[in-house]
Amino acid sequence: MNPTGNPSPTGDSFPNGPAPLTGHSLLAGREVPGTGDAWYAVAAATGEPFGPPHRDASTEQVAEAARLAAADSRAFRALPPEQRAAFLDACAEEIETLGDALLELAAQESGLPPARLTGERARTCGQLRLFADLVRSGTALGARIDTGPSGTDVRLRRIPLGPVAVFGASNFPLAFSVAGGDTASALAAGCPVVVKSHPAHPGTGEAVARAVTTAAARTGMPAGVFSLLVGRDHDVGLALVGDPRITAVGFTGSRAGGLALITAGRSRPVPIPVHAEMSAVNPVIMLDGALARPEQAAAPYVASLTAGAGQFCTNPGLLLLPAGPAGDAFLSAVAQAMKATEGQVMLTPDIARAYTEGVRRWEDVPGVREVARGTAGAGPYTPAPVVLECDAATYTAHEDLTGEVFGAAGLVVRWSGTDELLHLLEELEGQLTATLHGTDADRSTALGLLPVLEERAGRVLWGGWPTGVEVCHAMVHGGPWPATSSPGATSVGTLAVERWLRPVCYQSFPDTLLPSELRDDNPLRAPRQTGAGLIQGA
């Protein structure tokens, strides 16, 4: 029963799925009811509660999850790479086994359309398999063998840090949540994971956690390798980050949430790294050549801005457009495309409210004018997309304009001359992405801007739109503060594994005492960097 007194719309079970949902935490494969007050999943479209009651994990349960993770940490990292890879593959298979029921539940909780969630599931499972391949390849071990100037035998490999706490974001209930990139990369590194479930999609989180737990049992993992903690109160997450057995944190979400956890991680007696992927406005710079065909440039901008109700961390929230007639023509085309848009269901009622307040904050700044607005969708949490405009001086003078408004709101800032454009870029905070639109004729301007863009963003695009993030070896989804707290890292792509590893050097060790990947006969066939260059698996 939900708080309305009626049976919950989907019953208290996972619709058509293999295992009933309980609303409990999962500690090393064991179901543990929480001790906090009952709360419920909320249907994003209506704001109605549904599903089983969820109760936050107690402080003791948080500590128990960390203890179990630490207890099995050494056993997990000692497993042969093939077994760890098989576990990651099995996680993907078990998530797929949940079928469309998982997508239906995620759609009800998040308001995201089934097509988007289908793609997100594929990305999540593809990501798990990519990390499985990485484990098999042995490259993450980072083995190096060399002789120092004095002839000393020196060998290096990377070992996992230990138990990792993971916090996912509301806007990717699969790909940046329970079995998302942070979890996949930490498990690939050999770190047990304790996830703090996201209260915006608690049922989806539980279903995926069960899939991971099944995969762990099926592939012979030590049980403490994975736990899920139910937590709507911030105390649950803060207790987890504060637990002395947690060695690192992966966070995806808002700047406020990231800052709270970074502070918690830093203020422990033993500080730990908190890899927080936070928000950005992802500047898109329109150079003169890009404005030759305004309609062709405007429609994809509006499509990228409004996709998924604009709820992407890579949403192009800031567009830098030349002042003058060519820019005006582009903006007219934007207005036309924008007026045809309709608001979509946002992830939670609170996020819809925050969007409306954020747009109002922008509108209240003197010098900001509306370019165009779409129409609100049906239902209470479907606010209208909007594009606003101001000049460069207004933008740089008002801090309220520089932050993210999470949703389909775009700010267009008009610039006059490359000096002003450069000044705008120099003033920007760290970003996840920066995009240049132009033609060959803009080559020298682009080359002049590139050093600033590289310094400001983790990913620089030539043409296209930043909202799609390719999961592959060369992707960087990161960037300087405050886009992330770890400018040297990425949370998407195989490089993400490095956040959870630490190099250890073995000096003058006899071969028989060395880890396999550093032995002379290299039984794991791990690639190794040697004094003679990179040796591939020999």
SS3 283: coil
Work out whether 24 is an interface residue with ligand NAP (CB under 6 A): no
Work out whether 108 is an interface residue with ligand NAP (CB under 6 A): no
Based on CB atoms, which residue is closest to ligand NAP, 213 or 348?
348
- How many Cβ atoms sit within 10 Å of the Cβ of residue 534? 9
Which part of the chain contacts ligand NAP (CB under 6 A), choosing from 23-31, 202-210, 252-260, 519-527? 252-260
Strands 193-196 and 457-462, how do they pair?
Answer: unpaired
Which part of the chain contacts ligand NAP (CB under 6 A), choosing from 2-10, 154-162, 191-199, 334-342? 191-199
> What are residue 98's phi and psi, to 5 degrees?
-65, -20
Catalytic residue chosen out of the listed positions 64, 109, 120, 277: 277
Work out whether 196 is an interface residue with ligand NAP (CB under 6 A): yes
Peptide bond into 349 cis (omega under 30): no
Strand ranges for 177-333 from DSSP E? 193-196, 226-229, 248-252, 274-277, 284-286, 318-322
Number of residues interacting with ligand NAP: please give it, by CB under 6 A. Answer: 29
How far, in Å, CA of 42 to CA of 347, rounded? Answer: 10
Work out whether 307 is an interface residue with ligand NAP (CB under 6 A): no
Output the smallest distance, CB 206 to ligand NAP, in A: 14
Token pair 């990161």 is at which residue? 478
SS3 436: strand
**Binder of ligand NAP out of 177, 252, 282, 494 (CB under 6 A):** 252
Work out whether 277 is an interface residue with ligand NAP (CB under 6 A): yes
How far, in Å, CA of 28 to CA of 36, rounded? Answer: 20
Output the smallest distance, CB 493 to ligand NAP, in A: 12
3-state helix, strand, coil in the chain (%, to 5): 40, 20, 40
Output the smallest distance, CB 205 to ligand NAP, in A: 10
**Binder of ligand NAP out of 491, 495, 518, 522 (CB under 6 A):** 491
* Residues across the chain: 538
In the shown chain, the binding pattern of residues 144 to 183 toward ligand NAP, with x for contact by CB under 6 A and - for none, equals: -----------------------x-xxxx---x-------
**Binder of ligand NAP out of 25, 58, 185, 254 (CB under 6 A):** 254
Which part of the chain contacts ligand NAP (CB under 6 A), choosing from 205-213, 275-283, 365-373, 377-385? 275-283
How far, in Å, CA of 199 to CA of 227, rounded? Answer: 16
Q: Which residue is nearest to ligand NAP (CB)?
A: 257
How far, in Å, CA of 28 to CA of 207, rounded? Answer: 15
Work out whether 410 is an interface residue with ligand NAP (CB under 6 A): no
Work out whether 405 is an interface residue with ligand NAP (CB under 6 A): no
Which part of the chain contacts ligand NAP (CB under 6 A), choosing from 81-89, 253-261, 337-345, 363-371? 253-261
Work out whether 198 is an interface residue with ligand NAP (CB under 6 A): yes
Closest CA to 430 of 466, 484, 386: 484
CB 517 within 8 A of CB 157: yes
**Binder of ligand NAP out of 477, 482, 501, 522 (CB under 6 A):** 477
- Which helix (H) or strand (E) segment holds residue 68: the answer is helix 59-78
Which part of the chain contacts ligand NAP (CB under 6 A), choosing from 192-200, 369-377, 444-452, 502-510? 192-200
The yes-or-no answer on residue 277 being catalytic is: yes
- Centroid of chain to Cα 260: 17
Catalytic residue chosen out of the listed positions 91, 125, 313, 390: 313
How far, in Å, CA of 141 to CA of 497, rounded? Answer: 10
**Binder of ligand NAP out of 71, 154, 238, 450 (CB under 6 A):** 238
**Binder of ligand NAP out of 222, 257, 308, 482 (CB under 6 A):** 257
Output the smallest distance, CB 258 to ligand NAP, in A: 7
The residues in 330-369 that bind ligand NAP, with binding defined as CB under 6 A, are none
- Centroid of chain to Cα 202: 17
Closest CA to 318 of 422, 257, 390, 253: 390
**Binder of ligand NAP out of 142, 253, 316, 430 (CB under 6 A):** 253
**Edge-first strand listing for the sheet containing 284-286:** 369-373, 386-391, 409-415, 318-322, 284-286, 431-437, 457-462
Crossing angle, helix 443-456 and helix 418-427, to 10 degrees? 10
Based on CB atoms, which residue is closest to ligand NAP, 89 or 277?
277
Based on CB atoms, which residue is closest to ligand NAP, 222 or 385?
385
Under the rule (CB under 6 A), what is the footprint of ligand NAP?
167, 169-172, 176, 196, 198-199, 232, 234, 237-238, 252-254, 256-257, 260-261, 277-279, 313, 404, 406, 432, 477, 491
Write out the catalytic residue numbers.
277, 313
